[in-house]
Amino acid sequence: MVIGGDAAGMSAASQARRLKGSDELEIVAFERGHFTSYSACGIPYWVGGDVGERDELIARTPEEHRARDIDLRMRTEVTEIDVAGGRVRARDIDSGAESWTSYDKLVIATGARPIRPDLPGADAPGVHGVQTLDDGQALIDSLTRTRGRRAVVVGAGYIGVEMAEALINRGYEVTVVNRGSEPMSTLDPDMGRLVHEAMEGMGITMVDNAQVTKVHTGEDGRVRAVATEDAEYPADVVVLGIGVRPETALAKAAGLPLGAHGGLLTDLSMRVRGHENIWAGGDCVEVLDLVSGQERHFALGTHANKHGQVIGSNVGGGYATFPGVVGTAVSKVCDLEIARTGLREKDARRVGLQYETVTIESTSRAGYYPKASLMTVKMLAERRTGRLLGVQIVGREGAAKRVDIAAVALTARMTVEQMTALDLGYAPPFSPVWDPVLVAARKAARAVVQGF
């Protein structure tokens, strides 16, 4: 039995079905929404016009799942998990009818919910989240109906900056209001500053250190402006992109173990700790950060798919584990690419790691090759041991996916000195003779090691 019909839940169902046919394994899945297996990460590109149709974001429809003998119950919300009894109570949202269903093995994939600020006016027409396909459709409809061209984005994390791009692409004047000292708080502030400057350069008004206090509405009840303690920003449309929290109300009520970030705690096979027959994956769980050694919460489709795969293997009688993450994320705002993996300075300090940092500038291609673009790479290495702790990259074309080099190196617990010898692909159209990541590693090795 699967609760939640998106990436983690349906990947688990599909993989279990791959390993065991319908004669061996019955699969029931509950989804409270209208859609299954869709790419929430694609919503900004749909809103911005890069993706034409909502349905392009749907990887697999309910019908496709049912064709593989998965008993998928749409618009059905699970309202209670009875762990001792091995059953869940579910409610048909349209009819209101409730019933109990028993399970032998349960997969919890309830995802995350967006943080909605407790603000006066936050529910006014014209104020939108972008968590679900329905949210995306509502925003697109709102943008189509509204004549005004002023948009305010609240929050400057991944969703915030991607929505800023989407709104720029639709011809809006965009203001991004952000509580932090710089946008992209998943970067160190010095790297976030580069994002701030680049976004200003795109004509986006960046307001940092600003707490939104109120959403003002007009006489028609529709949003009119966003107020902070210091100022007021006129807005014909407002997008909230403040982040998400694990959706674990059900799990909490059932007495399942939650971590410090509110996510379910699992073991390496993605089984809920202390529960033989319950698995959990996706945005509702905490994952082990392999660099810091502590659990963290990362809401990312790519993790959810992997969790589902692992759960499906184990539930289906195979064997797989999810060892953890290193905290990789990439994003872009128009032609600006942003990437990070591993620990920021404050993460390293928080877990007691001492470190050196270096920052270098290099190019995406050989300097003499056309369209070589500048990128800035910041690298953290542990003091004395030289172990790689984190990398952040801000640049243009070719910047973001270079972080994968560091992601693999972090997984392998390499030192920055070891990284200087990495045999990376080199040809003038693809890299300088020293890849930017190697330039950073070399400088970091010199910061840690004498005589290197």
Q: Roughly how many angstroms between the first and final C-alpha of the chain, as a whole number?
A: 56
Residue pair 17/27 in contact (Cβ under 8 Å)? The answer is: yes
Interface with a second copy includes 35 (CB under 8 A)? no
Per-residue binder mask for a second copy (CB under 8 A), 296-335, x = binder: ----xxxx-xx--x---x--xxxxxxxxxxxxxxxxx---
What's the token pair of residue 389?
């702790």
Contact window for a second copy (CB under 8 A) among 89-97, 119-127, 185-193, 337-345: 337-345
Interface with a second copy includes 266 (CB under 8 A)? no
Contact window for a second copy (CB under 8 A) among 34-42, 121-129, 137-145, 222-230: 34-42
Catalytic residue, chosen from 41, 51, 83, 422, is 41
Place of tokens 């800035």: 376
Binding residue for a second copy (CB under 8 A) from 67, 249, 351, 424? 424
Interface with a second copy includes 401 (CB under 8 A)? yes
Active site residue 41: yes
Residues in region 126-185 near a second copy by CB under 8 A: 158, 162
Give the Cα separation of 356 and 384 in Å (integer): 9
Interface with a second copy includes 451 (CB under 8 A)? yes
Interface with a second copy includes 21 (CB under 8 A)? no
Interface with a second copy includes 92 (CB under 8 A)? no
Interface with a second copy includes 422 (CB under 8 A)? yes
Pairing mode, strands 87-92 and 237-240: unpaired
What's the token pair of residue 119?
């603000």
Give the Cα separation of 344 and 267 in Å (integer): 26
Binding residue for a second copy (CB under 8 A) from 2, 8, 47, 57? 57
Interface with a second copy includes 24 (CB under 8 A)? no
Give the Cα separation of 186 and 378 in Å (integer): 13
What's the token pair of residue 59?
């990887």
Q: Quick one: 18 or 75, whose CB is closer to a second copy? A: 18
What's the token pair of residue 89?
């109570």
Q: Percentage helix, strand, coil, to 5, in the chain?
A: 30, 30, 45
* Of 341, 335, 327, nearest in space to 191 by CA: 341
Phi, psi (deg, nearest 5) at residue 152: -115, 130
Phi, psi (deg, nearest 5) at residue 91: -120, 130
Residue pair 414/387 in contact (Cβ under 8 Å)? The answer is: yes
* Angular region, 171: left φ>0, alpha ψ -120 to 50, beta rest: left
Total residues binding a second copy (CB under 8 A): 78
Q: Quick one: 130 or 400, whose CB is closer to a second copy? A: 400
Return the SS3 of 200: helix
Contact window for a second copy (CB under 8 A) among 64-72, 124-132, 137-145, 416-424: 416-424
Q: Quick one: 261 or 446, whose CB is closer to a second copy? A: 446
Burial of 224 (0-12, 13-18, 19+ CB in 10 A): buried
Q: Quick one: 345 or 417, whose CB is closer to a second copy? A: 417
Residues in region 272-301 near a second copy by CB under 8 A: 300-301
Q: Quick one: 42 or 62, whose CB is closer to a second copy? A: 42
Please list the alpha-helical segments (H only) found in 5-79: 7-19, 43-47, 62-67
Return the SS3 of 255: coil
Per-residue binder mask for a second copy (CB under 8 A), 339-378, x = binder: x-x------------------------x-xxx--------
Per-residue binder mask for a second copy (CB under 8 A), 380-399, x = binder: ------------------x-
Interface with a second copy includes 412 (CB under 8 A)? yes
Give the dihedral sign, CA 62/65/67/73. Answer: negative
Closest distance between a second copy and the C-beta of residue 36, in Å?
Answer: 14
Interface with a second copy includes 409 (CB under 8 A)? yes
Binding residue for a second copy (CB under 8 A) from 380, 405, 416, 441? 405
Interface with a second copy includes 41 (CB under 8 A)? yes
Binding residue for a second copy (CB under 8 A) from 24, 56, 123, 361? 56
Contact window for a second copy (CB under 8 A) among 24-32, 77-85, 98-106, 406-414: 406-414
Q: Quick one: 107 or 235, whose CB is closer to a second copy? A: 107
Binding residue for a second copy (CB under 8 A) from 42, 160, 192, 390? 42
Give the Cα separation of 236 and 215 in Å (integer): 11
Residue pair 363/409 in contact (Cβ under 8 Å)? The answer is: no
Q: Quick one: 127 or 334, whose CB is closer to a second copy? A: 334
Containing 391, the helix (H) or strand (E) segment is strand 388-395
Containing 292, the helix (H) or strand (E) segment is none
Residues in region 176-215 near a second copy by CB under 8 A: none
What's the token pair of residue 134?
């329905």
Q: Quick one: 81 or 348, whose CB is closer to a second copy? A: 348
Residue positions annotated with a catalytic role: 41
